[in-house]
Structure 1
């Protein structure tokens, strides 16, 4: 799966993919906690933050948030932004390499089954909340027309075909993803009309049910 971290059963391959860090069992257990995932999401979406700012945003205790920040840093998801802040107020940012979590790595490991379940349920909840926020917010006609919440349910594919479909879609997204630049130059060429955009790709098989079957 992508970047929150990226999660997949068969991660796509090809020249368009950026280098990633494969999440192992220890890192998965380090991330799979509701508050830690909320902290990681906030930093991923909106950039560096302090424990105080995150606590206000998430409605949590500052000391508790500080502990979870250190835990995320220990497992390589975030790092301190050196040269900013004070000894009492540290700033934290995402590490530069995207994470990749392959669910197949943990399918037969009883010791990680609980952590994987927590992670996946929290991640789906985050995806749902982002869509709900978009629908509830007041956007002008241009942005409202450009956004989409769509689904297609009439495909019939083999596992290989579904994997190929996902790889093609991710390649399209990669072509629209800017190449990472140093923080000081990140906004030099940005279009003033541009806003952060979230792309949520969800594709999975569905078991057919006969009419009348619960």
Structure 2
């Protein structure tokens, strides 16, 4: 969504790869593998409430576009395990204005699915917050702010927020540190008209 330093763990979407990912189930599969680790098509089907035939087909499509790959060290016999190739995606806003209407449609679908995923994560947190410790409940945040900004100031804000978030990667506790959990952070900067 914005200009970031190149990270080998992050795949920059282009028109071809966008067509390979812009499908609700494919995006759910990729997110499930990113957050849950390697899995089989059957495991993913059970987790997502889909048929294993559908998950198998869409995993093969994701593999053809370079998003997932086999995890052969986990497979036994005919059991095929899948894992992600990259830990993140970078979306180029110019795809929303591509000359090809199919690319524009795929870009629009992709953006809506990202928003849907954020909504599902937030709803899951709200529905399960009682399962978390008091410390984690105190350490969660669901806020919104309204500022008057120019496009240039909004872009500056986005870069500063991303830089701040990136700086916390270096502070990540070592594996096995008690009470360490994966934390999801959503940022949205968008203009809103007042009526």
Q: TM-score, normalised by structure 1?
A: 0.82
Task: Give 2:192's match in structure 1, choosing from 194, 201, 206.
Answer: 206
Deviation at 1:81, TM superposition (A): 1.1
Q: Equivalents in 2 of 1:144, 1:103: separation in Å?
A: 35
| Number of the residue aligned with 1:129 | 120
Aligned structure 1 segments of 4 or more residues deviating by more than 2 angstroms: 17-21, 96-99, 187-190
Q: Which residue matches 1:57?
A: 47
* Paired residue secondary structure (1:198): coil
1:179 is displaced (CA, Å) by 9.2
5 Å-filtered alignment, 1:125-204, equals: 125-137=116-128, 138=130, 139-153=132-146, 155-178=147-170, 189-204=175-190
The 2-side partners of 1:96 and 1:114 are apart by 24
Cα RMSD between the aligned structures? Answer: 2.1
**How many residues matched?**
191
Offset from partner CA, 1:174-210 (integer Å, 9 cap, x none): 1112599xxxxxx96441210111011111111232x
> Hey, what's the Cα distance between the residues in 2 that align with 1:36 and 1:178?
31
What are the ranges of 5 or more consecutive residues in structure 2 without an aligned counterpart? none
State how far apart, in whole Å, the 1-side matches of 2:160 and 2:18 are.
27
CA contact (8 A) 2:34 2:87 kept: no
Alignment of 1:34-49 (within 5 A): 34-49=24-39
- Which of 17, 22, 34 aligns to 2:12? It is 22
* 1:8-53 Cα distance to aligned partner (Å, 9 max, x none): 1xx1446xx6344321111111111111111111111111111010
Tell me the residue number matched to 2:94: 104
d(CA) in 1 for partners of 2:20, 2:54: 15
Match of 1:78 among 54, 68, 75: 68
Q: CA deviation at 1:79?
A: 1.2
- Structure having the larger proportion of residues in helix: 2
Structure scoring higher RCO (CA < 8 A, sep ≥ 6) equals: 1
The alpha carbon displacement at 1:88 in A equals 1.9
C-alpha separation in 2, matches of 1:199 and 1:87: 39
Taking structure 2 as the reference length, what is the TM-score of the superposition?
Answer: 0.89
